[in-house]
A and B are shown apart, each in its own frame.
Chain A
């Protein structure tokens, strides 16, 4: 019974923790501008993140080591360093976007300018990382993130023609008024949002934090293959709400306030309050994950003691890296750069860095020296290779598309 409850909790936190500022913005933006014609990209991204999160969780459970530790050993320090630098840059940018997202959500709840919240949010993030146990941190914000289910309720209350709704997803059509390059650019952004690199680092490092062994591989698979797709459905609900309420009005999403408007229209004040709670939980939870991921990657690469399973004094360099990245993120938001624009850039740059994250994971998961009997099967390898091909195309196309479309204008 205890095991079933633990699996159930894991699935719920995987659902609630799936959506972050990138998913909120990218899905609402795409829904308002392209209707449901880009939902297929989100679904493809969810398949990809399931595939690689399962691999990285399995690697962590079998080797009991962090991803970067194994990558550096397997691919050598030079390849590992390129991987590290790219991942840390993208993760700190994402961290900045998440901190900005929490502050924007608090502004919507209070009318107080978001910049005033930034130092407070930064301090709260540091305090939680410093003081809270890993399992508590993961479960509390994962469960609170379930508040975003209100978008699914709003979608149901908006009462779309479901057959037409599903048809728009399975037979997508680019709106005639939009260029193909813009359509593809937003496709890249959605793909980057679904497959953000920090998610796999956090997932695999979390496996080590929670002392998973090969016996926990089945639990990990349930979390990934059930929790992530259900979390992906929240992304689809956000896009669906934007497509039904904002698109007919000609509203293009460039603020977090616009993301929540369909919930206000469909469910009212109470629903909106739940949505704001969901925004805060999702972005705060993701801020914790990105902050920790920065520390995990750097400490694992250099072979330092890391993690929350030891006292902060024993992992001092790990905590210093987390603190420095937090200070960089706070400084980034305080430049008054629009957090939504930062989010848009972070997910596109995530797309560029994807091969550097996912290729080494496939290599290690396929290496019998590390994985023994838990090495990748034929299906994982075929799908993994196929996905790496797609990821490669997306990474190469991202920057040219950004330039051609003037970042989706």
Chain B
């Protein structure tokens, strides 16, 4: 194998490595986790607030649906971005990921439930999904505060 080929393979590996965002240490991973929790909290609380406004008659269904779709998209993208970060090989990082990932999954799933209920016009399902999401949002907020967000 000549030098040019080796250089090509090396650059290829570097490029592939670049597809996974690095997290050099526990502190920066914790900071990323806190920022992720804040972004997810924002989307979750937007969904809760808009659903409550809809239930109170302050918001039409035509407005609620795109707001929920945006919140759903934001949560999906926030989760994907966090999962693409390579955590440091420490138990603290694994614990952090283990605590945040289920919250992101719950929030995402609850917002999807809200969107489905809103399209079907089921106000009972909307209320219960909003309550669930509200609880997840509180836990995201606590996570963010605990980890310096």
Contacts and interface: CB of A to CB of B under 8 A. Distances in A.
Contacts of B65: 111
B117 interface: no
A260 B42 contact: no
B53 A264 contact: yes
B90 interface: no
Nearest to B35: A409
A108 B53 contact: no
Residue in B50, B59, B63, B67 whose Cβ sees the most chain A Cβ within 10 Å: B63
Given A107-B66, A261-B53, A252 B42 contact: yes
Interface string A229-256: 0000000000000000100011110110
A269 B45 CA distance: 20
Given A250-B141, A251-B45, A108 B62 contact: yes
B93 interface: no
B61 interface: yes
B134 to A, nearest CB: 10
A115 to B, nearest CB: 12
Contact of A257 (B39, B61, B66, B144): B66
B112 interface: no
B49 A249 contact: yes
A239 to B, nearest CB: 17
Contact of B42 (A251, A268, A409): A251
Secondary structure at the A interface, as helix, strand, loop or mixed, is helix
Contact of B63 (A177, A245, A250, A257): A257
A261 B38 contact: no
Interface in B25-71: 35, 38-39, 41-42, 45-46, 49-50, 53, 57-63, 65-67, 70
Contact of B67 (A255, A265, A276): A255
B45 A265 contact: no
A79 to B, nearest CB: 41
Contacts of A109: 62-63
A269 B66 contact: no
Interface residues of A, number: 26
Interface residues of B, number: 25
Interface in A94-141: 107-111
Nearest to A249: B45
B109 interface: no
B74 A269 contact: no
Contact of A255 (B38, B62, B70): B70
A260 B49 CA distance: 12
A269 B58 contact: yes
A296 B24 CA distance: 51
A63 interface: no
B39 A252 contact: yes
Contacts of A219: none
A254 B38 CA distance: 13
Contacts of A265: 49, 53, 58
A21 interface: no
Contact of A261 (B41, B46, B60, B74): B46
A250 B66 contact: no
Contact of B62 (A110, A249, A252, A264): A110
A250 B62 contact: no
A20 to B, nearest CB: 21
Nearest to A268: B58
A272 interface: yes
Contacts of A110: 62
A251 B63 contact: no
B51 to A, nearest CB: 11
A258 interface: yes
Interface string B70-94: 1000100000000000000000000
For the complex of A and B, the 7 pairs showing the least CB-CB separation, nearest first, are A257-B67, A268-B58, A252-B42, A249-B45, A111-B62, A255-B70, A264-B59
8 contacts: A111-B65, A249-B49, A251-B42, A257-B63, A257-B67, A261-B46, A261-B59, A268-B58
Interface of B: 35, 38-39, 41-42, 45-46, 49-50, 53, 57-63, 65-67, 70, 74, 141, 144, 149
Given A252-B38, A272-B58, 12 more contacts: A107-B66, A110-B62, A245-B49, A255-B67, A257-B50, A258-B46, A264-B63, A265-B58, A268-B58, A269-B58, A272-B59, A272-B60
